[in-house]
Amino acid sequence: MKSMNIAASGELIPRLSTHRNVVALDSTDFTDVAAVVITTADSRSGILALLKRTGFHLPVFMLADKPVSAPVGVTAVIGRSAQEWLELENAACRYEAELLPPFYDTLTQYIDMGNSTFACPGHQHGEFFKKHPAGRHFYDFFGENLFRADMCNADVKLGDLLIHEGSAKHAQKFAAKVFNADKTYFVLNGTSAANKVVTNALLTRGDLVLFDRNNHKSNHHGALIQAGATPVYLEAARNPFGFIGGIDAHCFDETYLRDQIRDVMPESADAPRPFRLAIIQLGTYDGTIYNARQVVDKIGHLCDYILFDSAWVGYEQFINMMADTSPLRLELNENDPGIFVTQSVHKQQAGFSQTSQIHKKDNHIRGQARFCPHKRLNNAFMLHASTSPFYPLFAALDINAKIHEGESGRRLWAECVALGIDARKAILARCKLLQPFIPLEVDGKPWQAYPTETIASNRRFFSFEPGAKWHGFEGYADDQYFVDPCKLLLTTPGIDADSGRYTEFGIPATILAHYLRENGIVPEKCDLNSILFLLTPAESEEKLARLVAMLAQFERHIEDDTPLADVLPTVFQKYPVRYRDYTLRELCQEMHNLYVSFDVKDLQKAMFRKESLPHVAMNPQDANSAFIRGDVELVRISEADGRIAAEGALPYPPGVLCVVPGEIWGGAAQRYFLALEEGINLLPGFSPELQGVYSETDADGIQRLYGYVLK
């Protein structure tokens, strides 16, 4: 690895005796330096406090012409002797040696060895690619190190990623320490796989699983289709804007849950711990955060294990106002459930796409019959892991843990939260139509009137108070949920927050999302009258200022009723006849009218309410088996009423099943997909991605939605 820099006061740079490059203190963020040299005057300027806040634990030397005491935060005072310069160099070398986490450190050293390989992968450090012009372009684009880091396990120096030996094991142990887990497993094919690993290790046919209806489809796949467990569904909230909310408070009542068990497996209704596993979203896609302590206290005694699917969080324990909601920070005893936490590191932490991790926290039940030992979990792990892992993905997970270690992780997320608060304030100041999804007032004062540091330190500025009009969620209890400060959520016009009813004019969020993408800004997702932007420590003031400016510019286009050809040129050029002479407001009004005519907001809400969930006709595993055997037929959704679904149906994002295999088509779910079908035909260019439902063009040129049902 190339030697890191030394950072020094400008006046000291010409005086330092070192082979390393020396950079000025005011020209570095200290991520590229291995030691710092300051003057006596610098020590009183605030630089030591700044260095402490970084959490990097850099060695700091003070250069002085005469002996002085080292201030707090200074490693040593040095003069100009050769021995003292050597002391500086040794400290920098120690810092470099201790900086890199276990697997990544071993990987970089191995690459530097320059071994000749006759093993997989066949491109052999990229040499195969370089023998063709297209391959050369590919190689040059990604760079040499990526190809040298792509290797197989034929050489054991890097350890084994499947049975967790060597540096791979050390990396996962380090991550477990950082995230407060008993064991951690790195997963290289996403939290979709991580959820299947956990559910396949714990569940079998005949087991009861307490199942958040908001769960990602991967939990359905692992728990219900692959394992064949029997679900007891927990109804969940949707608000009129289209945001995904949490489970109703009453669903955590023991009497209620035992009554639900009697409907599906009466012989287990009075068992001490009827549920082998509960699967709960710790944070929904739209930033509704659960309190893990509350969940464990209310239902933990009914469950052997709880899986907190934390795909959309994972950083909560590094943010002061969120830390006590983290399942990995819980104090647990032998009567509590075992805890699994799955995290999509690639979503808002520092990881390549597909990087995920499983945290296991169950030493408190070790020795009990319900305990899931490592070998059993690893058996499921290997069912879903490739025997040819991509080492850079694993290394990214290792680095992610290092980044989050200690004060540096907490500082990075504190800065992210503050930037998000300031962005919301800027939107409130510059926009009238697009509004942050936060309380309008706190203790009688406007939300934005409070100092940023006050908002960042108190959860009540993000709390869903039961019955509050601004959020529109029903069924919540006090202190049950709050808005994730790292999800920048905005609402668009179209819903009266006080009544929850449609207004005369509305701006569907998908139109805003298209506009932003036209202008080089990519939101995470949108739905009905809501849009989501993910915030991470990668954000900057400049980046968020550009977003705010673009939101304000969109509002001006609405006010000016700009021609659609100027606002959404890509859509217009693709469908020039359909949108000839359209203005932006006309498009908004037509799509809003479609929502109103189908009452889409209430259909979306109803799909996740107990009274209107699709009726369960058979176990999802059996329905999937029928699909595999071909005992199915493809029918129009408009004609699917009363038929048993062979395949799960959902819009993506968010990837939450509206109809589960084995459930009967009809009711709110059927009407919802028919509303989508109408929109696909009426408003080309704005079609959603659908899974488990297929759009096919009929002879009359109309697109119809189809789904597989059992014969």
> Mean pLDDT, consecutive 10-residue segments, the chain of 711 residues?
88 87 93 94 90 95 86 89 87 94 95 90 96 98 96 83 94 98 98 99 99 97 99 98 98 98 98 98 97 97 99 97 96 98 98 98 98 98 95 98 97 98 99 98 98 97 97 96 98 98 98 99 98 98 99 99 98 98 98 98 98 98 98 98 98 96 99 98 96 95 97 97
Peptide bond into 485 cis (omega under 30): no
Catalytic hit among 304, 309, 336, 527? 309
514 is catalytic: no
Q: Which of 15, 19, 160 is nearest to 5 (CA)?
A: 19
Domain span(s) for CATH 3.40.50.220 in the chain: 5-99
Residue 169: its H or E element: helix 166-179
Catalytic hit among 125, 170, 216, 361? 216
Q: Which CATH class is domain 160-404?
A: alpha beta
- What is the C-alpha separation between 681 and 340, in angstroms, rounded? 44
Q: Which of 254, 256, 265 is nearest to 206 (CA)?
A: 265
CATH of 600-710, one of 3.40.50.720, 3.20.20.140, 3.30.70.1150, 3.90.100.10: 3.90.100.10
216 is catalytic: yes
Q: Are 665 and 645 in contact (CB under 8 A)?
A: yes
- What is the C-alpha separation between 226 and 506, in angstroms, rounded? 43
Name the residue with tokens 């991580």.
194
- What is the C-alpha separation between 476 and 466, in angstroms, rounded? 5
Q: Are 645 and 661 in contact (CB under 8 A)?
A: yes
- What is the C-alpha separation between 592 and 104, in angstroms, rounded? 51
Cα dihedral: 39, 41, 42, 48 (round 10): 110
Name the residue with tokens 């005519």.
597
Angle of helix 292-299 relative to helix 254-264, nearest 10 degrees?
Answer: 60
Q: Is 672 helix (H, G, I), strand (E, B) or coil?
A: helix
| Residue 412 confidence (pLDDT) | 98
| Residue 1 confidence (pLDDT) | 64
- pLDDT, one tens digit per residue, over 643-683 is 999 999 999 999 999 999 999 999 999 999 999 999 999 99
Architecture of domain 5-99: 3-Layer(aba) Sandwich (3.40)
Name the residue with tokens 């030591």.
48
- What is the C-alpha separation between 311 and 333, in angstroms, rounded? 26
Domain span(s) for CATH 3.90.100.10 in the chain: 600-710
- Report how far apart, in Å, the C-alpha atoms of 89 and of each of 15, 71, 360, 390 are: 15, 20, 41, 35
| Residue 616 confidence (pLDDT) | 98
105 is catalytic: no
- What is the C-alpha separation between 585 and 591, in angstroms, rounded? 10
The single-letter code of the amino acid at 306 is I
Helical spans, DSSP H, in 561-666: 564-567, 569-574, 584-598, 600-606, 620-629
Query: What are the two backbone dihedrals, phi and then psi, of residue 329, each rounded to the nearest 5 degrees?
Result: -100, 5
Query: How many C-beta neighbours within 10 Å does residue 122 have?
Result: 7
| Residue 689 confidence (pLDDT) | 95
**Pairing mode of beta strands 33-38, 22-24:** unpaired
| Residue 623 confidence (pLDDT) | 99
How far, in whole angstroms, is CA 278 from its chain's centroid?
Answer: 20
The single-letter code of the amino acid at 462 is F
| Residue 163 confidence (pLDDT) | 92
Q: Is 331 left (phi over 0), alpha (psi -120 to 50) or beta?
A: beta
Helical spans, DSSP H, in 270-390: 292-299, 345-348, 374-384
The reported pTM is: 0.96
Query: How many C-beta neighbours within 10 Å does residue 2 have?
Result: 8
Q: What is the DSSP letter of 647?
A: S
Residue 147: its H or E element: helix 144-149
Catalytic hit among 164, 220, 347, 557? 347
- What is the C-alpha separation between 487 and 533, in angstroms, rounded? 6
Q: Which CATH class is domain 408-560?
A: alpha beta
| Residue 159 confidence (pLDDT) | 87
